[in-house]
Structure formats: structure tokens, C-alpha cells
């Protein structure tokens, strides 16, 4: 399997090169030259099998320069019981036509663990395959969950340095504490005075700085990425769509071959794109509901064909979705235009220069065949958390609640009764105050809640067990306290690497 850039100005590379480089030299994103097929018989064979076996089936199609033994070691290590419990991605039934796919049973209680527990394993093997003898500097921009998951996955991995940039006021208290207490001599969390888009734009600028790349090269260092711009981060996410479908068939929820819907809380478009790629490979999917919060740039794009980031940025109770520049949309456009790299590069340049671009009606129609875009505001999100708990005794975090409500809106507007799966991306204990206020607004809505007092109260109210990694947070030492301006990312990287 060979990989090409969405901008079309680099040579084809192996998966090991795509994973170790992270971003293509022309500024584009690596994508497979073609998508392999997985048959209904192969999906049926996944029923009742360990998650690691399902992952091996999917990953072997894409990472063809890795041996079967290498991939087996990767998946069995990454998805072990010690890291994820009995099953990494279980379905939880809410009602006859709706299940929740829980992707937050990993070490950091967020769906990013599904990819970032295995990416370091891919990366260390990729370095050997490519003959790379440099230290890999993993740059990460995070809106909340990726940062901690990357730091946890790469902590003390030899010949790597991880630098995470997060918006100073744009993550939850728990998310921030998870990052600044992370152990590991090679991991660094840096707050940026700005929003996620400021951090992401700054990181992309560093990747495209040729002079900086030369300076790094002189010191035997090279940039790579743990964001979903890295193919090694995105490809493991394809697995859980196949796994969820197999679970639904195995549980008698659907017949094998029956199309279903997925509702996905969406910010940077990586998670939902992985589902779209699964569909290209043969997974029977009727519709992807692209669920946004008040930062509804994707909703507007899907429904109008105009991508316009020139709009107010809203800090919301679902902070991991507080994004106005969705990087992975570039990959979708590349696929839907039949790999027209010139068009894609032109749109990305317009976005950088003017803050917006427009696609033609034919392309928009193709996107609408697979995607339904809608958004959910703060009031609806809180009400949904309360309603789901009152109706089903199930506790959702705010991001998952956005996806649930978006599915309700889709069904109301389309009368589509298709069996559906809500993709749940974080434990409710990562957003204790918001969830507690939503479950009992009369008592807690106006309260100034300490996140750890709220955590204990939430556990007592819902009879849920606090994840061990959450309960230990108040007692961990704060190891990181850097705060920088949004134009100081390069200086911070050089300081961290000792290049000044």
C-alpha cells in the first residue's frame, strides 16, 4: 500500500514513511492511493473475536510494509486488558434502534486512546524501517483530549520528544490537570494564549518552516505529529467502526449487510472521516450524522458548500469540538473530487488567505449523500444529558450528548428509522461539573463546583465508579506550567530541544 499527498506535490511513500513524517512535505495530508475492501463475510467473522484480532484484520490492509508479527505485537500490546479492560470499544444499548459506542475505556478516558496507545508502537517500528536516525519531535495541538493521550502514549518512549500546545482557557479543568501532571522526561504541555485554532495554525506553520527543519536536521531531530493529520493516528480509528458493526450483528441488533447510521461528535473531522473510510472499504453505512456544537462551521459547509472560518469562536461545554478549522476535511475533499490535488490545494490556499472557500453543487451533493450536518447549542446539550439519564439511567459527557441530540434532529427531519450508533468519545467524569449541573440543575446549576468534589458527588448520584486515572488526579504533582503567546511556539520548541 502506497500513500500520496492531498496536495499532489510529493512522491508516493510507504506507510512507515507516512507515519514517521506525519505531514507531507508539500503541506498536504497523506492518504492511501486506494482503499482496500473488507467483505461482509470478513465482517461476520469478526463476531465474538477479541478487539485485537479485528484491528489486525483492518490494519494489515493499510500497513503492508509491517509484518504480520509486528502488527500482532502492536495490537495486542495497545489493546491489552491492562490498558482497556475487558473490551476496548463496547456497545451499550439504550433502546431498540439505538446503541452507544463507548470509546473511552482507555488510560486517559477519551477516544483518543484508541489510536494513541498504538501510534507510538507504529512509530518506533517505522523509524527502524525508514532508517531514520533522528530524534522525533512530536508536535501536538490539542483541544482537550489528544494532548493527554499523546503524552501518556509517548511517555519515555526512546528517541522521541512530545510537545503539546493547548488553549490556556479552552480545555476543562480535568483535561488540563491530566496534561500538566503527566509523568515522563520527554513530554511537555504548553498553554497558548488563544484558542485551539491558534495552536493548530501555529503547529502547522512549524511543520512548513523549511529553515526550522534544516536547523532541526543539524541537531539530528525531525518533526512528526500525533494529531489526526498523521495517518498512523487516523487508521486505528477505522477499526472501531467495523468492530461496532460486528458487535451489532452479534447482538442481534441488525442482520449482516444491513446499512446503519453513525452519529459522531465532530471537531477536526478525523473521527467521522475514519467512519467514511470504513464505508469506502465496504462497511454498510447509510448516513454519518456530523454533530457540531455552537462552532458550527462544518454544519454550514455540509448544508451550503461554503467553508467560512470567519465567525465568532465560542468557548463551550464541549471544548474538544471548539474548532473552526477542521484539518481532516481536506482528506474528504481529496477523495470526493477523485484525487484532484490541484483543486484541494487551491481551496486550502483560499482558506489560509481569505478564511473561506466554496465547492460546487455537484461535489456538495456527493457529500450530502453520506453526511448529514447539524449542530446543538449549550442549552440542548445540558437538557440531553439530563433527558438521557432520566429516560435510560445512562450518563453521557457533553460531546456524546451533542451526538445524541444531533441524531434526534436527523430523525425528526428525515423520518429515518434506521438502527443507529452514537459515538461516545469521553467519560462523563472528564466533565464532572457540567454533567452534574445537567443532571440536577435545581441544586447545582448556580453552584461554584470544584471539579473533584463534583466528581465524588457525580459518582454518588449515579452509582458509577470513578476511573482510577481520574480519582488519582488531585494527588498528582503538577509538572508543567508554561504559558506562551500564540506567536511563541517556535521559540518554545527551540527552548525545549535546547536549540537556543
Report the distance separating Cα 416 and Cα 436, nearest Å. Answer: 32
Nearest to 330 by CA among 7, 2, 3: 7
Q: How would you write 118-149 as a 3-class SS string?
A: CHHHHHHHHHHHHCCCCEEEEEEECCCHHHHH
What amino acid positions are annotated as catalytic residues? 112
Count CA atoms closer than 13 A to 2's CA, side-chain side.
Answer: 7
Report the distance separating Cα 166 and Cα 242, nearest Å. Answer: 31
Residue 100 bridge partners (DSSP): 92, 422
Amino acid at each position: 500500500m502506497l500513500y500520496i499527498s492531498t496536495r499532489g506535490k510529493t512522491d508516493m511513500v510507504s506507510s512507515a514513511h507516512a507515519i514517521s513524517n506525519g505531514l507531507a512535505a508539500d503541506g498536504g495530508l497523506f492518504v492511501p492511493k486506494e482503499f482496500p475492501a473488507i467483505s461482509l463475510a470478513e465482517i461476520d467473522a469478526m463476531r465474538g473475536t477479541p478487539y485485537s484480532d479485528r484491528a489486525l484484520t483492518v490494519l494489515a490492509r493499510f500497513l503492508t510494509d509491517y509484518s504480520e508479527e509486528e502488527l500482532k505485537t502492536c495490537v495486542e500490546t495497545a489493546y491489552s486488558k491492562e490498558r482497556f479492560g475487558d473490551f476496548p470499544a463496547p456497545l451499550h444499548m439504550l433502546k431498540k434502534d439505538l446503541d452507544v459506542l463507548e470509546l473511552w475505556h482507555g488510560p486517559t478516558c477519551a477516544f483518543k486512546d484508541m489510536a494513541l496507545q498504538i501510534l507510538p508502537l507504529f512509530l518506533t517500528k517505522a523509524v527502524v524501517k525508514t532508517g531514520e536516525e533522528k530524534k522525533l519531535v512530536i508536535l501536538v495541538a490539542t483541544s482537550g483530549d489528544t494532548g493527554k493521550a499523546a503524552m501518556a502514549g509517548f511517555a519515555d518512549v526512546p528517541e522521541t520528544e512530545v510537545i503539546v500546545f493547548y488553549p490556556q482557557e479552552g480545555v476543562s479543568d480535568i483535561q488540563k490537570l491530566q496534561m500538566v501532571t503527566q509523568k515522563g522526561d520527554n513530554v511537555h504541555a504548553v498553554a497558548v494564549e488563544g484558542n485551539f485554532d491558534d495552536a493548530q495554525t501555529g503547529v502547522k506553520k512549524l511543520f512548513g518552516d523549511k529553515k526550522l527543519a534544516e536547523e532541526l536536521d543539524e541537531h539530528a531531530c525531525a518533526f512528526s505529529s500525533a494529531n489526526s493529520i498523521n495517518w498512523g493516528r487516523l487508521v486505528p480509528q477505522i477499526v472501531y467502526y467495523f468492530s461496532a458493526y460486528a458487535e451489532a450483528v452479534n447482538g442481534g441488533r441488525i442482520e449482516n449487510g444491513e446499512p446503519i447510521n453513525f452519529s459522531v461528535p465532530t471537531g477536526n473531522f478525523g473521527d467521522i472521516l475514519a467512519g467514511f473510510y470504513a464505508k469506502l472499504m465496504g462497511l454498510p453505512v447509510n448516513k454519518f450524522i456530523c454533530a457540531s456544537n455552537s462552532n458550527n462551521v462544518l454544519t454550514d459547509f455540509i448544508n451550503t458548500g461554503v467553508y467560512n472560518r470567519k465567525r465568532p469562536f465560542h468557548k463551550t461545554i464541549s471544548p474538544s469540538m471548539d474548532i473552526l478549522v477542521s484539518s481532516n476535511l481536506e482528506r474528504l475533499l481529496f477523495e470526493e473530487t477523485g484525487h484532484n490535488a490541484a483543486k484541494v490545494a487551491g481551496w486550502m490556499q483560499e482558506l489560509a488567505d481569505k478564511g473561506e472557500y466554496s465547492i460546487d453543487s455537484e461535489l456538495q451533493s456527493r457529500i450530502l449523500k453520506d453526511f448529514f450536518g447539524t449542530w446543538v447549542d449549550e442549552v440542548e446539550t445540558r437538557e440531553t444529558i439530563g433527558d438521557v439519564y432520566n429516560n435510560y439511567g445512562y450518563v453521557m459527557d457533553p460531546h456524546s450528548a451533542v451526538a445524541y441530540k444531533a441524531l434526534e434532529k436527523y430523525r425528526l427531519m428525515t423520518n429515518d428509522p434506521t438502527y443507529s450508533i452514537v459515538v461516545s468519545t469521553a467519560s462523563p467524569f472528564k466533565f464532572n461539573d457540567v454533567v452534574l449541573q445537567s443532571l440536577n440543575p435545581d441544586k447545582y446549576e448556580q453552584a461554584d463546583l470544584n471539579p473533584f468534589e463534583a466528581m465524588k458527588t457525580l459518582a454518588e448520584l449515579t452509582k458509577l465508579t470513578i476511573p482510577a486515572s481520574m480519582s488519582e488526579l488531585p494527588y498528582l504533582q503538577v509538572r508543567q506550567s508554561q504559558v506562551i503567546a500564540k506567536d511563541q511556539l517556535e521559540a518554545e520548541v527551540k527552548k525545549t530541544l535546547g536549540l537556543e
